[in-house]
């Protein structure tokens, strides 16, 4: 059985947000169209406590976009974003994701970032996503959302490692591109790992 997995379609990643992904709003019509197809819908939600250690504001003298080591792992320093209880953490309202999807929150541990919808970045703790998918007997995921080179990529790689078939919708994702070409490299990495890379018009439901 197939399901739609929407990654972090939240205001802080959309135009005008604290961590706006370039051209992020272009994916909204694609998400809306695929949500109308009748598939089960799951969604991840970045949901940080205030003062999360991945925020540049928590590291004196450090700048947004710098790379540090945090708890033994490489960590990009981000602007404060998707803080619990703020508008920026909410899903894009018009799509009614909170009502229509089974939502899994991530990034709630102040000490470790969580790009993937399945595990934190150290793979020390697992979210409920795999359990929820298994309850619904989902074997294949159609993935779209934000951002290609971070939360989409790591969610897809973990899904593949857990045995799911995965299709990434290229017109339904956009990249941060801290370094030029990061988005394209992420798509190539996902494809090498076994993901099918498609445009939405190729998906027959």
Active site residue 196: no
> Of residues 106, 120, 130, 158, which has the active-site annotation?
106
> Of residues 8, 80, 113, 149, which has the active-site annotation?
8
Nearest to 10, CA basis, from 40, 38, 48, 63: 48
Dist. CA 188–CA 186, nearest whole Å = 5
Dist. CA 143–CA 173, nearest whole Å = 9
Active site residue 151: yes
Active site residue 106: yes
> Of residues 82, 113, 130, 151, which has the active-site annotation?
151
Residue 128, Cβ density class (10 Å: 0-12 exposed, 13-18 middle, ≥19 buried): middle
Report, as residue numbers or ranges, the catalytic residues: 8, 106, 151
């Amino acid at each position: 059985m197939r399901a739609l997995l929407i990654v972090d379609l939240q205001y802080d990643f959309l135009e005008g947000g604290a961590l706006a992904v370039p051209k992020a709003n272009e994916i909204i019509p694609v998400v809306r169209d695929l949500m109308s197809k009748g598939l089960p819908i799951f969604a991840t939600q970045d949901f940080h406590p205030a003062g999360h250690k991945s925020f540049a504001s928590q590291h004196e003298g450090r700048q947004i976009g710098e790379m540090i080591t945090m708890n033994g792992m490489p960590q990009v320093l981000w602007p404060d974003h998707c803080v619990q209880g703020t508008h920026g953490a909410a899903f894009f309202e018009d799509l009614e994701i909170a009502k229509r999807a089974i939502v899994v929150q991530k990034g709630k541990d102040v000490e470790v970032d969580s790009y993937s919808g399945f595990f934190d970045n150290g793979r020390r703790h697992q979210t409920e996503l795999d359990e929820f998918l298994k309850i619904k007997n989902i074997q294949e995921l159609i993935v779209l959302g934000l951002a290609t080179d971070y939360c989409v990529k790591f969610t897809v790689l973990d899904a593949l490692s857990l045995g799911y078939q995965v299709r990434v919708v290229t017109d339904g994702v956009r990249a941060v591109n801290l370094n030029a070409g990061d988005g394209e490299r992420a798509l190539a990495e996902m494809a090498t790992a076994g993901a099918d890379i498609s445009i939405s018009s190729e998906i027959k439901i």
